[in-house]
Amino acid sequence: MNRKTKDITESELKNWRLAKEFRKIFDGILKDRPRSKSEDDPRRQLHFLDYATSILFVFCNPVINSMRGLCAASRLEKVKKYTTTGHLSLGSFSEAQHIFDAGALQELVVNWPSGSPRIN
Q: Quote the pLDDT of residue 88.
A: 92
Give whole-number Cα distances, 105 to 4, 67, 102, in Å. Answer: 29, 18, 5
Q: Quote the pLDDT of residue 118.
A: 57
Q: Quote the pLDDT of residue 1.
A: 43
- With H, G, I as helix, E, B as strand and everything else as coil, classify residue 94: helix
> What's the CA angle centered on 24, arms 94 and 109, to 5 degrees?
65
Q: Quote the pLDDT of residue 29.
A: 78
Cα distance between the two ends of the chain: 24
pTM over 0.85: no
Q: Quote the pLDDT of residue 36.
A: 75
Consecutive sets of 10 residues in the chain, 120 residues long: mean pLDDT of each? 67 93 85 78 87 91 93 94 91 88 76 60
